[in-house]
Structure 1
Amino acid sequence: MDTEELRSRNPVKIGYYDPFSIYPKIKDDFEKNFPLTNLHLKFELSQPLKSIPLLPVSLVEEVPKKQDIIESDDVYTRLMFIRIESIDKYRSQVRPLIREWLKQLVFKSRSSWMIILFVPHDTKDKHSSLIKTSRFDKLRNDFGDEGKELKTILPGKLPVYDGARCFKLSENEIKMNKTEAYNGLLSEIKVLLISSFVNRHSNFRQLIKENKQHSIGQFMSMLNLADLLNDMRLHQDSLDSYDKLFRELEPLVQQNPNYFNLSIDLPSSFDSYNFEESFDSVNLEVSFVQKKDINLFQLSCLVFINQSILLQSLANASSSISLASIYMSRIYQSLIEFLNDLSRTSPNHDLREFQYSVIEFYLNLPLAQRLTSSISDTEESKAQVRAILEFRAELKLQQRSILIKLAEDKNYCIRGIESVLEEISLDDNQSHDNTQQQKPHEFSNPSLLACLKEKSDFFDKFESLTMDIIHDFMLCSRSKSIDVLSIDLVILNYEKQNYTQCLEILKDSYDFFISNGWNFLGGILLEIYIGCLEKVKPQESDEVLATCLKLFSCLVKSKSGINSYGLIKTKEQIEKLYEKINGYSLKQNIKVECSLNELFKSEVLLYFNADESTSRDRYYVNMRLENRFGVPFMFDRIELITTDQEGHEILFRQENVEISSERNHTIKLFTNSFIMGSFVPKRLCVSVNKMLHFVLDYKLVPSIRFNDSTIDPNASTNHEIQEMRHCTQAQSMLVFPNLDKFRAQFYSSKAMNLGSSNTLLKITNGGNRITDLKAKLFSTTNGLKINDTELEIDSLEPNEVKDIIIPYTYNFDNKIINMRAQIEYFSDGEKYVFEASYDINITLPISVSVQDIFKEDFIYWKFQIGTSIPEVPIRILDTKLSIENDKYSIVEPGIKLPELIAFGEQSVSTFYRIIPNADCQVSDTDSLDLIIKYSSLQEECEVCMDEYVIQQLEKLKLSRYWYLLKDALISKMRFELNKYAMDNIIKFQNGTELSTLGEAIIHEFVESIADKKILVKLLHDVLFEQEVPVIKKEGNILSLHISVPVPVIKYLQIVEYDFERNDKYVVGEPINVSLRVKTVNRWSSDEDSEKSQADEFQLMLQNDDNWSISGFKRKIFRHEAENEYSLETQLTLIPLSIGKILLPRVSVKSSEKTESDEISMDVVFKNGLESLLIVPDVKSITFAF
């Protein structure tokens, strides 16, 4: 419909009865006031006011005749034009006509009505002024609101309508003022119409409520309500009602199938087809009233037609282009749904030409063409009509699909895809066209006749229609849809053998489909692309290979549903494609890599396993490979590179790998390299041949390299538990040794020489004889220098153990050092690598101090032995002092000391007496050797744990997990060492923490579920249930060798009081003593002996309140070799106190003349601790008050 038709369509009917031919006299002037404007109404008091800005009306003449009650008609108001020449003629002629009109037309249809009395200009309303009742009054008395004639026509309650029942129209008033005269009549007609609208609306609403849901009666009432709102020009309300009707159709048919006729009667011709005028609603209304033989097809079409007309009306009345575009786009969107529903509900009917013609009709709507013709190049202009353009393109797509199906009836088709499947040499079997010849369909639509006349006409129409769709999509920025449609042009060009143009279009398009998950279509296009490449650019082998690989990946994407490209390919076709890939790859000059994930699903099981099927030092990891192609493959090799945080790499490999057509495969990848630590996959490479590799590069994640060091027993394991949980998330692989394979480990030396630095490298061979062992030693500890960084061993027999001392130099305070070894060796002509890294605590667990006590003829040595780590007691097993020559004699204690334990603040002491032999000259180079044998209680407990756990693992046949438990768990055990020292019982301080850590380690690094359960139970039993037996092993004994220098002093001063010994002495009585000093220089070196004659000494008696001394208190003397004593003098001592009193103290030091020479000297005071018993004088009595 055009704009004017939309405004004037379906006017509201006003019936009129004109028995006296009055209406022709006023028709022209009266109808100039149509359409009516500005009608306002409320359906209910609670509802908002609704306005009808413009209401087209049409007056239709009616003649009363006998008929049944009209339930619903399209005449909303009825008018009767009369004139009264006299009262007598009124009674005899006019009144009977009015009664018949009301009886046969008005009251049977229940419409509003009004009688219009026309008074000609030559007629008076009253014949005489004496008569009070006029002709109009008489009319009102008979037929007004309370008219006496009404109840005789229709007994009972009359329908209530607003407005006047009688209206007087004077010809003289018309001549005087037409506008005013007609405005009064028009106002009354508006009131009548509004009253009729409201009454009908209320009646239909009531019927909808009263009728059963999904019943014919309810649907008919809903349809009448929608038509009423449509007639009233309440477009949006009417549209909402028709939308409900459209949704109600399906449940209506399901509930009432017997009332419907499913036949479809299409027009005999679609030439100049007008869909909106092609169906008559009269027969349909009769069927509804009769409740039988309701044609569902016609009903569906009529509901949609009314929807579309309403949307056109809304678009026509819209205030902006963008709003009108939205309404028009909804028409197209609803049309697509409507046509699809027809196809779905009528599968046995050929509706294609009908659908094509309907789409053509709506695409040519004048309003739609007017809107789209307003597009300019500005973005704002495009945005305003974007909605209509988008759905217009979708509608054209559906029209194109119908065209393709109609063309197939004439054997017109675009065979591009089929040709590609045949021509591309992926399959030897050629497809054959078995399409049966069908009888051509006779078309009546002129455009269809034109485009299906010849095959070339169909191609031209297909191409032009596709270009139109692309143009619309370009204007609304549907780039993805444009790419899809471009493919149709590709296939068309392929059909025309225009391969070069196909290549240009396909160059980027196929990748778009694959990247967006459209693998089926993307795969088909790739086949076309390969076919074009081989025809246009056969020399471009690299591009053909790359495209074949992309096509190969499409086979395994979206394996289910219609999007699966692989479902249409046979095994033979897949094998042919793989052979083509293999062949083209060998033509390449450089290696080609492509993503493994796009072809195969792979998983590396991060569990490091020793190959127990052989005695060779070989290890492996398992990988899973999922073959989604369903055909067998042969690969040159598969390699896996793993790496740790420091960049060390382990390469696992398997040569000549063959996998069957089965889906799941487990492959072992082997290595002869062993590097301790925590590793993650870095790269997995499946080599098809020397030039083509399927590669997976892993994103490197933080891994945990287990510290294989001697752990401080007081360190908390909480941090390690957190690290282990992180490691579980990171999926790292822990590489640890195996008891049956070659291994090497660094230890602290068992025998230590004080002042020297060395560690022990223990090499344990596996079950094979090895040769040409070469080891490179190094350390990551700053400042540490290994004396000899390389060592070689010609051969080692099976299971042979070699201990090698590794001396080093290190002068820093850090007590944790790192030692590493890279070992290469050969066995049966095959090379093996073993790398070990250990952090070693070089803290000496024992501390030793010595005290020198000089005597005239010998020396006492007192050694105090303790632990340097207060929390770790040590067990002193034996001490021995020895000398290599006979210069000195060593006297040991007469009683052999038992094994003693030195705790943190409780050391162990031992004495030795050193006697120089005759004629022995002491030298400052003389030394004696002290050897202390001891053991650490921490290590004793660890050795017991080691032995016990190994025994249990061997019983369970799980000894392969020993080093996993040892390095990651047992080395972190903290024992109750005091309890072990006292009660010889092993208990754990951190059992709960170890249990948590151990379970995390086991669950992360043990693959077998059964092994996990056994190991977790063993761990629990060891920590909480079973008692670990205590064993003593010689290998646990440590020794410390100390070269103890003989002390050298220049002088030994021996001081002695000589006097007459009595049992007691009397206070106040003098005691005569001789003070002697003997100077000995036998403990001096040779050089000191030569200079001893020149030295002077000073002797001093210290003040003592218990004694009164007569004689000197300070005296200088010199050592003279010919005299026995250097000093001998007489003194008198007078005791001043009673009781046991120590003799006065004597000090000897160098004189002031020689003090600066710093003479080494020691003093032995023979009477230093001697005391005399002093008693009171009994001859005198002393009183104290």
Structure 2
Amino acid sequence: MDQLSQSVTLAVGYYDPFQVFSTILGEKFKKQTNLNSLYWKYKPADSIRTIKNVQLRYIEDDLANKVTNINEEDVFMKFIFVTTTSVDEYRSKVRPIIRQWLNNVKSMNPRVTYCIILYENISLRSAADKFLKTSILTKIRNDFADPEMTLQNSFKIKSSYSDPDAEREIWNGLVSMIKLGIMESISAKMDYFHTLRPKLLGVRKSADLFLKIGQFVDSAEFYSRILQSVGNINKEDGFERLDFQDLPLRSMISNVQSSTYMTTKYEIKAYAYERLSQILMNDSVKTIGLYMRNSLKLADFLLSFLNSIYDCNKKSEFCILLIEDFFSDKKLRFILDKNEEVPNQLYEVLGDLKFLEKDELTNLGNSKNYKMKGCLSDISFTSSSGEIMHPYKVISIKIEKFIKTEKLFKQHVVEITEECIKLYSQSPYKQNTVDTLSTEVALMLYYSMNDYETSVEVISNSFQFYKSSGWNSVSLALLKVYVDNLSKLRKKTDHSIVADLLVSYLEMISMNQENMLDQFRNLVSDISEPLIIENDNIIDISINPEIECVSPDIYAISVHFDSKLSDIKADSIVLSLTSQDDAPCQNEDHYLSSLEFSTTDFMLKTKFSCILKSKKIIVGEYFATKMTIHIGKLCLVKHIFKSVKMFQINSLIKSDRILSNTMIDISVPKTRYLNKDQVLLVVHVGDNPFNKFEFILNQFDESRLISHADYLLSVIQFKDNSRTRLNLEFDIENLGGALAFKYSGDKIMNKGDEILLYIPYMFPPDVSNTKVLVGCNFIFGDGYSKYCSKSLETSLSIAVSVQDIFKSSNLFSNYTINSVMVDNPVRVQRVSLDSPKNDYQTKIDTWHSPKNVIAYIDQGSTFFYRLTNLKDESLNLSIEYNDLHSEIVEIFKSLYYEKLEASKPYLLRYFNVLSEEIFDKLDFKHNLYGLTGRVELVNYDLSKFSKAFKLINTTDLSVIIQSIAELVHDLNSQTFKVNDEILADIQHRLIISVPLPVINIINIVELDFQKKLQYLVCQPIEVTLRLRVIVLQKPNNSEKKVRFQTSSTPKKIKLQLNFAEHEQLWLIAGEQNFTKEISLDIAHKPKNVLETELTLIPLRIGRLELPRIEVHNLTNFNIEMELDYKNSSETVLVVSELNKVVHTF
């Protein structure tokens, strides 16, 4: 509104008794007093208001100050134009006229600023006038001095000026006075209006004044205050006198404005709204954004105005006319059609106007006995006694066209409702209203216009909306209409709508409309093609999250139904489960990402339970996602969301017998060859024998599979206390990301058999990530399958170090075995070092190796071996061991199994899940057990296993917890000795291929001298230096690898012996460097090469090491040599005088 560019025209009155303004001064005066802009402040604390484009409109009044064609309140200044040629004329004629005029001006309310203009014709001025002591202007100012005036309000204008600057000064002063005078008049009017009573009259006049002076924001605020202050318009408030010829409302402005006193409430509100309409929707509003904001405000005002009128038929007609007039604005229509930035609030309030128009049009239709069935606002106005008022005659010709016939009336109601929907649909906050109105349109089309095809879809959507909103009564009523609609369409058309009717019947049954059951049963038999219907309310399902077994390898889930369908036979019931894990799936045909439990031929009742079975089991977290009930060709689907954890059950009780299930496991083999790793798939066959099976390896890292590897499939059978291992024939098939190992024989796998599949696999070398994820599906027998995946720990629990020392022809090897974990020592059960070949062996000697030795991370177990006759390239170091945690857990598990088997065998079905989820994760004091054999737990607290306990039936849970607590208590009072049977079950074996050093020659060096307790410093010591050589060579066998690392075998070699780094400690007398040539003809026998006498002289006191000796090969042959220095690390005590005690540190 602040951008309105129209001019502000202010009326000023003038009295012209001497025809000065009309004949002489008028045009020039108007031109010189052009104001353009004013800057007005009402109160000192107010901001300055700018009044732009000010134009003065001069209106002549008479002596009585009666201004023609304008209200005196609209006059902002008064002028009187006089002229005289002499003082006498002034006194006799002019002064009386001014006095009378001033009396009339000062009697005006509100007060207005006035100004006296004296016009002087220079040509008529006499010579005597030039010598007057007091000019006529001064006399006027003296005669009419006004103490209430703060401005100089008397001016003289001459017919001509000799000095242009003087003339300019006169006019500038006059213009300044006019500006100040007008602003004082505005303030005076405001003061006056504030004193008026009733107060609302002053508010209206203040609003008018703001509008006159171009202050549109203030004016709109005052008019809106009027609309808010007047209140509701009742029957006695003048609305009944309304003549629709007065519409639009601009014709009543002059009537209200000219009224000194308050008129009726209706007239005041109508006047305020019309004024607001002029302000807000002015053509001078340039920007679309401002126009939209103004339209929003005006629409709010209009809605408030119309809703404040009491209900009657004339109001309905009045509302329709004003709303149609509002929407007829071309600029508004253009904005709604073309602009994409229309605010949501504007769409909402425009929709509210159309909604009101629809209601009021419906009411007018009622006055003509038109019945719009389905319209939610189908109401009639009645008198206070309840009687219907007299028929109403529509006055407006435009509205009469809308309701001339009932058909036109109904069409127009639907059109307005659709317009309302269109407006509301643009706002995200009115979607519920859109659904309601859409429902109303559908009901009107159905009930009033018999348009079944159009109404059926909308009613369906509306039903869903009301149902989801919790409006059950409304949704049920709509559903009944929808069913009736479908029934009529089924009779009218050839299209099959059986599916929609079935869905509707199910909805009604779920809403406790039991009378629909017969229609449902009859309609099901009419289905010609398979039909799927989803309904989550017809049946409530309670799933027992604990799975069970009803027979070997057949798993079951117990489901309780609370059904609104009764006495209906179901062909099958299927429960679908979906995995929670996003595990990679290399082959969709063989990887089970979902499970189904089912039963057949079941009678649906109001309340019933059933057992759903499956031959397939997938270990992991699952969600029961849907229940499917097949009734003939109808497939009824209920979506659910229940968590179910699948796990293997090792045993069950049937007919007082303990039966076993087939179990699958994935592990690292207990016997491992270092750097030749494998993954082991193990199946323990239960009481369900089979002769056909296959492994599907479908979760693995393909890059870790070893190409062209030798896979091994075998079975271990136990019979008559004997153990037989047989290798099985099988076929391998690549399934595109998965590997299938299919048994090709026909041997029957019986209870107790173990099927083993070894898969060569490269374990990660990075010690920071030693986990390997492997998943496998085992398919066997008649459609049975079990799937499990594991994250295998590939790291070893022991560390092995070796130290080799050559002495003469012997190789001494010292092996140290440590645990790799601080809190989990290992028990080294047995260690052996053997030749991998039976016919070609190195001689191996050792002491009596200890058994079952505990090795810690910082205190290992040592095993010492002497090797002679080195004929092998490598030896096998075999270490049999187990970690103490596994040993304690195995004790715990065996005792617990015996406890359950003896007292509560029915709980054995939980043994597998308890072992994996609880027993393996208990914390024990391993060091205490290793030292004393006592088993104690660290912070025994079963609450941290709450997730595992959810897998156990609540009726069994307390017994399980109590039995575990009893076992823990019994363990604390016992001391366990090493049990070979338990150790055999958990034994791990690590086989390391230990390469033997490739040595061609061993040089044996010795310094022989007379040993004494003490030697004197600088006293010579006579020594004999001996060098013997042993040549090691394998027998000449073409299939054996020659141990010499040369391109051709030499016959002789040249060796050099010398002393190294001895100058600081010893002085050596005699030859120090020796070169000898030796023959390689003999092997494995010491050969004397050198023997010579030397003298050693110690140069320092203390304990001195004998000089170090080195032997070098001077030939070009690459020969591996070892030095056996007999005096290595040998020391002698050197003193300054004999028998003197010397302490060395």
TM-score, normalised with respect to structure 1: 0.55
- Which residues of 2 match residues 976-991 of structure 1 at below 5 A? 979-987=928-936
| Mapped pair 1:785 → 2:754 | no
Other structure's SS at 1:413 match: coil
- Which residues of 2 match residues 840-989 of structure 1 at below 5 A? 872-873=826-827, 940-947=887-894, 949=896, 961-972=910-921, 979-987=928-936
Question: 2:276, 2:128 → 1: CA distance?
Answer: 58
In the alignment, what sits opposite 1:39? 37
Query: Residue 252 of structure 2 contacts residue 271 of structure 2 at CA under 8 Å; is this kept in 1?
Result: no
Q: CA separation of 1:471/1:806 partners in 2, compared to 1, >3 Å: closer, same or farther?
A: closer
In the alignment, what sits opposite 1:276? 250
Query: Residue 976 of structure 1 contacts residue 986 of structure 1 at CA under 8 Å; is this kept in 2?
Result: yes
Question: 2:355, 2:761 → 1: CA distance?
Answer: 83
In the alignment, what sits opposite 1:1059? none
Q: CA separation of 1:553/1:236 partners in 2, compared to 1, >3 Å: closer, same or farther?
A: farther
* Deviation for aligned residue 1:56: 6.3
Query: Residue 642 of structure 1 contacts residue 650 of structure 1 at CA under 8 Å; is this kept in 2?
Result: yes
| Mapped pair 1:334 → 2:300 | yes
Amino acid across the alignment from 1:274? P
Other structure's SS at 1:608 match: coil
Query: Residue 828 of structure 2 contacts residue 851 of structure 2 at CA under 8 Å; is this kept in 1?
Result: no
Question: 2:25, 2:567 → 1: CA distance?
Answer: 94
Question: 1:60, 1:547 → 2: CA distance?
Answer: 83
Question: 2:58, 2:463 → 1: CA distance?
Answer: 59
Question: 1:205, 1:553 → 2: CA distance?
Answer: 75
Query: Residue 624 of structure 2 contacts residue 643 of structure 2 at CA under 8 Å; is this kept in 1?
Result: no
| Mapped pair 1:608 → 2:558 | no
In the alignment, what sits opposite 2:598? 653
Query: Residue 571 of structure 1 contacts residue 631 of structure 1 at CA under 8 Å; is this kept in 2?
Result: no
* Deviation for aligned residue 1:962: 3.5
Query: Residue 815 of structure 2 contacts residue 862 of structure 2 at CA under 8 Å; is this kept in 1?
Result: yes
In the alignment, what sits opposite 2:574? 639
Question: 1:693, 1:667 → 2: CA distance?
Answer: 20
Question: 2:562, 2:95 → 1: CA distance?
Answer: 99
In the alignment, what sits opposite 1:1070? none
CA shift digits 1:597-629 (9 cap, x unpaired): 5x5797886823337xx89987544668898xx
Q: CA separation of 1:84/1:1021 partners in 2, compared to 1, >3 Å: closer, same or farther?
A: farther
For structure 2, the 5+ residue unaligned runs are 379-385, 584-590, 654-659, 674-678, 698-704, 715-726, 729-742, 765-771, 800-813, 832-847, 866-878, 990-1145
Other structure's SS at 1:316 match: coil
Question: 2:439, 2:684 → 1: CA distance?
Answer: 71
CA shift digits 1:719-775 (9 cap, x unpaired): xxxxxxxxxxx96623231654443447999999x9xx999976666xxxxx87777
- 1:317 corresponds, among 279, 284, 298, to 284
In the alignment, what sits opposite 2:531? 592
* Deviation for aligned residue 1:596: 4.4
In the alignment, what sits opposite 2:396? 445
- 2:321 corresponds, among 354, 357, 380, to 357
Other structure's SS at 2:363 match: helix
CA shift digits 1:44-76 (9 cap, x unpaired): 89956724214463626366599xxxx994332
CA shift digits 1:186-211 (9 cap, x unpaired): 99478535533356448859998xx9
* Deviation for aligned residue 1:844: 14
Query: Residue 227 of structure 2 contacts residue 305 of structure 2 at CA under 8 Å; is this kept in 1?
Result: no
Query: Residue 590 of structure 1 contacts residue 691 of structure 1 at CA under 8 Å; is this kept in 2?
Result: yes
- Which residues of 2 match residues 584-733 of structure 1 at below 5 A? 584=523, 586-596=525-535, 607-610=545-548, 620-621=556-557, 636=570, 637-642=572-577, 646-647=591-592, 650-653=595-598, 656=602, 658=604, 670-673=612-615, 675=617, 677-681=619-623, 684-687=626-629, 689-695=631-637, 733=645
Aligned residues: CA RMSD? 7.1
Amino acid across the alignment from 1:999? F
Q: CA separation of 1:327/1:763 partners in 2, compared to 1, >3 Å: closer, same or farther?
A: closer
In the alignment, what sits opposite 1:232? 213
Query: Residue 664 of structure 2 contacts residue 684 of structure 2 at CA under 8 Å; is this kept in 1?
Result: yes
In the alignment, what sits opposite 1:736? 648
Amino acid across the alignment from 1:872? V
Amino acid across the alignment from 2:497? V
Query: Residue 325 of structure 1 contacts residue 384 of structure 1 at CA under 8 Å; is this kept in 2?
Result: no
Q: CA separation of 1:61/1:33 partners in 2, compared to 1, >3 Å: closer, same or farther?
A: same
Question: 1:760, 1:470 → 2: CA distance?
Answer: 68
Q: CA separation of 1:545/1:512 partners in 2, compared to 1, >3 Å: closer, same or farther?
A: same
CA shift digits 1:1008-1031 (9 cap, x unpaired): 599599959968995999667648
* Deviation for aligned residue 1:694: 3.7
Determine what percentage of the aligned residue pairs are the same residue: 15
Question: 1:846, 1:15 → 2: CA distance?
Answer: 116
CA shift digits 1:118-140 (9 cap, x unpaired): 66899759974443434333212
Question: 1:381, 1:1002 → 2: CA distance?
Answer: 62
Larger radius of gyration: 1
Query: Residue 407 of structure 1 contacts residue 458 of structure 1 at CA under 8 Å; is this kept in 2?
Result: yes
- Which residues of 2 match residues 1009-1088 of structure 1 at below 5 A? 1011=957, 1015=961, 1030=976, 1036=982, 1038=984
Question: 1:590, 1:327 → 2: CA distance?
Answer: 58
Aligned residues: 852
Amino acid across the alignment from 1:354? F
In the alignment, what sits opposite 2:361? 403
Query: Residue 276 of structure 2 contacts residue 298 of structure 2 at CA under 8 Å; is this kept in 1?
Result: no
Question: 1:327, 1:761 → 2: CA distance?
Answer: 78
In the alignment, what sits opposite 1:1149? none
* Deviation for aligned residue 1:444: 2.6
Question: 1:465, 1:750 → 2: CA distance?
Answer: 80
* Deviation for aligned residue 1:267: 2.8
In the alignment, what sits opposite 2:79? 79
Q: CA separation of 1:50/1:648 partners in 2, compared to 1, >3 Å: closer, same or farther?
A: closer
Query: Residue 776 of structure 1 contacts residue 791 of structure 1 at CA under 8 Å; is this kept in 2?
Result: no
In the alignment, what sits opposite 1:768? none
CA shift digits 1:293-351 (9 cap, x unpaired): x9654444333222212123xx322346x4685377346523443345425xx568963
Choose 689-698 or 26-35, whichever is displaced more.
26-35
- Which residues of 2 match residues 289-438 of structure 1 at below 5 A? 296-312=265-281, 315-319=282-286, 322=288, 325-326=291-292, 329-330=295-296, 333-339=299-305, 341-342=307-308, 346=310, 351-363=315-327, 368-369=329-330, 371=331, 395=353, 398-415=356-373
- 2:148 corresponds, among 158, 163, 166, to 158
Question: 2:269, 2:791 → 1: CA distance?
Answer: 87
In the alignment, what sits opposite 1:59? 59
* Deviation for aligned residue 1:270: 1.4
Other structure's SS at 2:241 match: coil
Question: 1:1024, 1:282 → 2: CA distance?
Answer: 105
Amino acid across the alignment from 1:544? I
Query: Residue 15 of structure 2 contacts residue 81 of structure 2 at CA under 8 Å; is this kept in 1?
Result: yes
Other structure's SS at 2:891 match: helix
Query: Residue 16 of structure 2 contacts residue 82 of structure 2 at CA under 8 Å; is this kept in 1?
Result: yes
Query: Residue 358 of structure 2 contacts residue 413 of structure 2 at CA under 8 Å; is this kept in 1?
Result: yes
Amino acid across the alignment from 2:888? C
In the alignment, what sits opposite 1:114? 115
Query: Residue 607 of structure 1 contacts residue 1005 of structure 1 at CA under 8 Å; is this kept in 2?
Result: yes
In the alignment, what sits opposite 2:1118? none
CA shift digits 1:1115-1145 (9 cap, x unpaired): xxxxxxxxxxxxxxxxxxxxxxxxxxxxxxx
Question: 1:540, 1:873 → 2: CA distance?
Answer: 85
In the alignment, what sits opposite 1:195? 181
- Which residues of 2 match residues 763-774 of structure 1 at below 5 A? none
